[in-house]
Amino acid sequence: MAVAASALLTVGLLAGCGSNGGNEGGASPSADASAGAGASKPAKEEKVTLQFWRNSGNDAENSAYDKLVASFMEKYPNIKVQMSPIPYADYDTKLRTSIASGNPPDIMAIDAPNMASYAQAGALKPLTDYFKADGDLQDIPETTMSAYTYQNQIYMAPLTESSIALFYNKKMFEAAGIPLPSKNPEEPMTWDQVLDAAKKLTNPAKGVYGIDPAQGFQNAGATAYFKYPIIWQFGGEVMSADGTTSKGYLDSPETKKALQFFSDLYNKDKVSALEYPPDPFPNGKLAMTVDGSWSLSYYADKFPDFKLGEDWDIAPLPKGTKQAVANGSWALAVSSKSKHPDEAWKFVNWVTGHDGQKTYTSITKDIPVRYSVAKEYPELSEYPKNVFVVQNQKFGRSRPVTPIFPQMSEAVNKLFEDVTIGKRNIDAAAADAIKKIDKAYADLQSQAK
For the stretch 341-372, pLDDT in tens is 999 999 999 999 999 999 999 999 999 999 99
Fold match, 3-162+329-369 / 164-326+405-448: yes
Q: Residues 81-98: what's their mean pLDDT?
A: 96
Ranking 18-22, 212-216, 338-342, 350-354 by mean pLDDT, the lowest is 18-22
Sorting pLDDT into bands at 50, 70 and 90, what band is 338?
A: very high
Position 30 scores a pLDDT of: 35
| 44: confidence class by pLDDT, cuts 50, 70, 90 | low
Assign 175 a pLDDT band (cuts: 50, 70, 90).
very high
CATH number at 164-326+405-448: 3.40.190.10
- Can you spell out the DSSP letters for 211-268? EESSSSS--HHHHHHHHHHHHHHTT--SS-TTSS--TTTTTSHHHHHHHHHHHHHHHT
What confidence score (pLDDT) does residue 428 get? Answer: 98
Rg (CA), the chain: 23
* The pLDDT value given to residue 216: 87
Residue with the larger pLDDT of the pair 234 and 33: 234
Interhelix angle 341-352/354-364, nearest 10 degrees: 50
The average pLDDT across 137-145 equals 96
User: 86 pLDDT exceeds 50?
Assistant: yes
**pLDDT for position 36:** 42
Share of the chain above pLDDT 70, in %: 90
Give the C-alpha separation, 109 to 51, whole Å.
12
pLDDT at res. 435: 98
Q: Mind listing the pLDDT tens digit for each residue in 113-129? A: 999 999 999 999 999 99
| Percent of the chain scoring above 90 in pLDDT | 85
Give the mean model confidence (pLDDT) for residues 374-386.
95
Coil, helix or strand for 182? coil
Q: pTM for the complete prediction? A: 0.88
| Phi, psi angle pair for 208, to nearest 5° | -105, 130
Average pLDDT over residues 392-400: 95
H helices then E strands: how many in the chain? 18, 15
**For 13-39, what is the mean pLDDT?**
39
Please give the average per-residue pLDDT across 186-198, as a whole number. 98
Q: How confident is the model at residue 222 (pLDDT cuts 50, 70, 90)?
A: confident
| Residue pLDDT, tens place only, 147-168 | 999 999 999 999 999 899 999 9
Q: Flag whether pLDDT at 295 surpasses 50.
A: yes
Measured distance CA(155)–CA(110) in Å, rounded: 10
pLDDT score at 271: 98
Q: For 235-266, how does the pLDDT look when each residue is reduced to its tens digit (9 = 90+)? A: 999 999 999 999 999 999 999 999 999 999 99
Q: Place 19 in a pLDDT band, splitting at 50, 70 and 90.
A: very low
Q: Give the pLDDT band (50/70/90) at residue 423.
A: very high
- Across 307-321, average pLDDT: 97
| pLDDT value, residue 243 | 95
Distance from the Cα of residue 165 to its chain's centroid: 14
Question: What average pLDDT score do residues 43-67 get?
Answer: 91
Least confident of 337-351, 361-375, 414-428, 435-449: 435-449
Asked if residue 1 has pLDDT above 80, the reply is no
The CATH class given to the 3-162+329-369 domain equals alpha beta
Q: Report the alpha-carbon distance of residue 250 to residue 414 in Å, rounded.
A: 13
Average pLDDT, the chain: 90
DSSP string, 292-329: ETTHHHHHHHH-TTS-BTTTEEEEPPPBSSS--EEE--
Residues sharing a CB contact under 8 Å with residue 160, sequence separation 6 or more, in sequence order: 329, 330, 357, 360, 361, 364, 366, 367, 368, 369
Instruction: Give the pLDDT score at 220.
Output: 66
pLDDT of residue 43: 46
The pLDDT, as a whole number, for residue 22 is 37
Secondary structure letter of residue 176 according to DSSP: T
Please check the confidence at residue 7 and state whether its pLDDT lies above 70. no
- H or E segment to which residue 356 belongs: helix 354-364
What are the extents of the domains in the chain? 3-162+329-369, 164-326+405-448
The pLDDT assigned to 219 comes to 74
